[in-house]
Chains A and B, each alone.
Chain A
Amino acid sequence: MPLGIDRRLLLNVDWVLLGTALILSLVGVAMVYSAAHTGGSPDLHLKQLVLVGVGLLGLVGAAATDYRRLADRPVLLYVVSVLALAYVVRFGPLIAGTRRWVVIGGFQLQPSEFVKLAAAVVVAKIFAEYRQESLGLRDLLWPGAAVGLLGLLIALEPDLGTAACLVPMLFTVAFLAGLRMRAVVGLVVVMLLASALAWPFLRDYQKTRIYTFLDPSLDPKGAGYQKIQSQIAVGSGGVIGRGYLEGTQGQLGYLPARHTDFIFSVLAEEMGFLGVVAVLGLYLLVLWRMLETARLARDRLGAFLAAGITASLAFQVVYNVAMVAGLVPVKGLPLPLLSYGGSSVLATLMGVGLILSVRMRRFAN
């Protein structure tokens, strides 16, 4: 497969998107340092920095790949994804009660992060093949089943947060592909029903999380603890924050998972409302530029691919930040680019790369 990058492609690189993503990654490195330097592994920020470097390589590689070529073999992509997930669920090492990782050459990789990208490609391909003006619920059946299987496998790890990212991806693309408004409404109804029906199948700890979200004082030390401590961290940051490395909630260890899922709490505590506005502004800029790419894409496949990746990214950002602010139940979902974690950083930057690829080829044949 020719990977040559000609000058015309370089002219259409979205430097704003690339630059913003890079800035966010570096903010992430700084926050990982703040969150983890007093703990048992003081060099975590350096690892994160290396991972950002690796992620940039992945980004360049993805950008250099023609997304149309990538979408030429959807069945292969899909089968590989299913096999990888099935392998992890069956043979992955048990870490903290879950099987989410494969260990390759001493590195832990989380296949589900990459499956999200594959899913975006597959979903974009399926919907791009539809030729009719508007779609009904019946047209969702086939892609829904395909994505559903992936989601199910990820949920089995279990990693409900990542599995949930597939849902907005599917629906955003379906919406763009012309899903009728009636179907959209119907879908919302079906979703509500489904969540009600799913209740008995939730694990106890998942139910506890929902209960304690509704009333954190039920379990101030257990499941409610994270929400309470996170809100204290955020709120005590005030307008200008307590200063870098000065947040007591983070530095004294009251915040759980502070270098991973709750890194935004550390940021909010130390940088205050101004820091929150700045970082959320950067995220909005990233998402906006990505959707802009979808708008400028030369074909439906490109538009859907960009929109699908954006949708799952937007869901992650919004859900994670809403969780930090105590608006939604606590769920293990990293904040893309900021949270510590190799697979997340790598996959997110590769996703950005794919979107760059779409934009770069808007005029290409």
Chain B
Amino acid sequence: MRLYEDLRPVRTRLAVVQVVVAGLVALLLLQFWNLQVLRARHFQDLAENNRSRVVTIAAPRGALLDRQGQLLVGNRPSFNVVLTPEHAEDLDRVVTRVARTLGTGEAAIRERLARRRVPYEPVVVRSDADIAEVAALEARRLELPEVSIQVVPLRFYPLATAAAHALGRVGEISERQLDSPAFEGLEAGALVGQAGVEAQYNRALMGRDGYRRVIVNSRGLEVTEAQRQPPEDGPAFTLSLDTSLQMATERAFAGRAGSAVVLDPWTGEILAMTSTPAYDPNEFATGIDPTLWTSLANDPETPLMNRVIQGQYAPGSTFKIVMATAALEEGVITPETTFFCPGHLRVYGKVRHCSVPGGHGVVDVRRALAMSCNVFFYHVGMALEIERIAAWAKRMGLGEPTGVDLPHELGGLIPNPEWKLRTQKTAWYPGETVSVAIGQGQVTATPLQMARVAAIIANGGWLVRPHLVHSAGGGGLDFEPPRPIGISEETLAVVKEGMKAVVAGGTGWRARLRHTVVAGKTGTAQVVSREALERSPDDPSIQPHGWFVAFAPADEPRVALAVLVEHGGSSGVAAAVARSILARYFSEERRPAAPPPTAEAVD
């Protein structure tokens, strides 16, 4: 016998529990409705995004060829070790193993991982791995599924340091470039041109990357390929450079700092361009090692600077070409005008010296150029006055960039009273005009500008636009054609006679060739004052820069050039460098000529 308990209150409350349970399940269904019915599309996209990856197939950059079709810059296959951090279950362990396998420090790998911007994008932890490293990693493929090897074309510069500044270099795209419209569509890690032709024509050279859409599992292993778009290779560019002339130019410097540029005076095509000291662009090809970069960037010799277009030097006596042209055209002198040079001239209360203490005696414009007589050009400068000098200098392409197809070109400076008032808030002194007349004072010019001045005299008064690219992908490029700047035949003939005399029996005798008539002009750019130089004459860092500008053959010119040797002491070294270059061009590589008995080795 057992009493039945009163279970009615329990049952009432059980109903509450039942309602709660049913209510909770209903709530859950509501959420599933939300996820699976209302937002299904969104999550399907996410799932698709999860499982498919776009792998870019890098398009090889276009090759650079010289004017004979010889390879200047090409590509070679290289192996990159890439790691996708999202796929690693224990990233620390993976990094340790990869570092051990490659024999590198973990810190470098971690640093590269930290720099990454796009999630799920593989990070290159080692560029240009060698075969042994690739083999070691492939052997651990199963243990390290988040690591893989990519074969990528790598930029290759067979000439190494030669023409490095003209050809330029590639490097990883910088943060600033990523945000600029010129690099739109590129992602972090992309290799882009960072200098020279590589930078100037970067987009055209890059071609168009292809891609593969692949299905990957959660460990990042490729399961299958869903789509493929092949890359469009960058087109080959033919440059106007002539490799053998370029190499001769490099050799001519023999370790001295300076620069040289050789132009076709009729078209502006650059046949050779050297700036020393140089760097090896191959070292940048994989994204440069930071310590190497720092040492290059902080080197007092500035190997990264292209002196041909960025070196702004006082043109010194090479500016006398401009002065002679201006004076003849403006009629302040005639070809027959003479001045007497006693070796110095007192102007505006100050004694100015000529290049030789004894003076040149009676000189006309031709002899003044040949002997580089300062006194003659002091007179000419005072007669022309600064405004006309500046106007002619600008007409001949000085004071502003030449527009060469290279980035970061500088324009030099042609001072005038308006400029001085604006920048220094003081009036122009007539004495400054006298300094400008011999290319000193505030005047500066780049070697490329001075080579073009030589080209103007060579080609009969046409201003050319210098350029390096001859044709791209088979098609020619449209550079603005040479334009006449309005110099009379007579003036040109006189200046040319003067320049021929410079080499034949004047200050530029070291540039003389046996079978080819060279027309040139020497110049010296003072680094410090004459007095300072006299105090410590043996300090190499205060020696003046030597200039030599020239064209040849004088009567049927085929090349125009400018050479600048930093701290060369005088223009003699520059003339000798020019001779080596010209000798190579005209196949006259023999011993330099003996000095003529009359010429003094000064300008």
Contact = CB atoms under 8 A, between A and B. Distances in A.
B7 to A, nearest CB: 6
B347 interface: no
Contact of B39 (A133, A233, A235, A284): A235
A235 B10 contact: no
Contact of A303 (B10, B35, B39, B44): B10
Contacts, number: 134
Interface string B12-39: 0110111001101100110111011101
Given A273-B36, A287-B21, A178 B9 contact: yes
Interface in A249-293: 249, 252-254, 268, 272-273, 276-277, 280, 283-284, 287-288, 291
A172 interface: yes
Which residue among B25, B44, B217 has the maximum number of chain A CB atoms within 10 Å of its CB? B25
A318 B46 contact: no
A234 interface: yes
A325 B35 contact: yes
Interface string A348-365: 000000000000000001
B51 A254 contact: yes
Contacts of B216: 252
A217 to B, nearest CB: 11
A248 interface: yes
Contact of B37 (A239, A252, A314): A239
A295 B43 contact: no
A254 B218 CA distance: 5
B223 interface: yes
B348 interface: no
Interface residues of B, number: 42
B14 A235 contact: no
A291 B18 contact: yes
A111 B17 CA distance: 28
B10 A221 contact: no
Given A178-B9, A318-B28, A284 B223 contact: no
A254 B25 contact: no
A365 B3 CA distance: 11
Contacts of A248: 47, 50-51
B115 interface: no
Contacts of B35: 231, 234-235, 325-326
B11 interface: yes
Given A235-B43, A236-B43, A252-B216, A273 B50 contact: no
B47 A238 contact: no
A273 B21 contact: no
A333 to B, nearest CB: 15
A299 interface: yes
Given A252-B218, A273-B32, A314-B21, A291 B14 contact: yes
Nearest to A313: B21
B28 to A, nearest CB: 5
A83 interface: no
B117 interface: no
Q: How large is the interface on A (under 10, 10 to 19, 20 to 34, 35 or more residues)?
A: 35 or more
A110 to B, nearest CB: 25
A176 B13 CA distance: 6
Contact of B42 (A172, A235, A294, A322): A235
B47 A249 contact: yes
B29 A280 contact: yes
B213 to A, nearest CB: 14
A365 B1 CA distance: 9
A58 interface: no
Given A176-B14, A273-B37, A307-B14, A235 B7 contact: no
B86 A175 contact: no
B219 A253 contact: yes
B421 interface: no
A297 interface: yes
A235 B527 CA distance: 75
Contact of B29 (A133, A254, A277, A299): A277
Tell which of A177, A221, A235 has the most Cβ of chain B within 10 Å: A235
Contacts of B42: 235
A311 B25 CA distance: 13
Interface string B422-443: 0000000000000000000000
A249 B215 CA distance: 12
B114 to A, nearest CB: 15
B40 interface: yes
Contacts of A294: 10, 14
Contact of B36 (A238, A307, A310, A318): A238
B314 to A, nearest CB: 61
A277 B32 CA distance: 9
A160 interface: no
Contact of A307 (B17, B43, B217): B17
Given A234-B35, A303-B14, A325-B31, 13 more contacts: A175-B17, A178-B13, A234-B36, A235-B47, A236-B40, A238-B37, A252-B51, A252-B215, A273-B33, A294-B10, A300-B5, A325-B35, A326-B31
7 contacts: A177-B10, A231-B35, A234-B35, A235-B43, A252-B223, A254-B51, A273-B37
Interface of B: 2, 4-5, 7, 9-11, 13-14, 16-18, 21-22, 24-25, 28-29, 31-33, 35-37, 39-40, 42-44, 46-47, 50-51, 85-86, 119, 215-219, 223
Leading 10 A-B pairs by shortest Cβ distance: A235-B43, A253-B218, A236-B47, A238-B40, A273-B36, A252-B217, A235-B35, A236-B43, A236-B44, A254-B218
Interface of A: 133, 172, 175-178, 220-221, 229, 231-239, 248-249, 252-254, 268, 272-273, 276-277, 280, 283-284, 287-288, 291, 294-295, 297-300, 303, 307, 310-311, 314, 318, 321-322, 325-327, 365
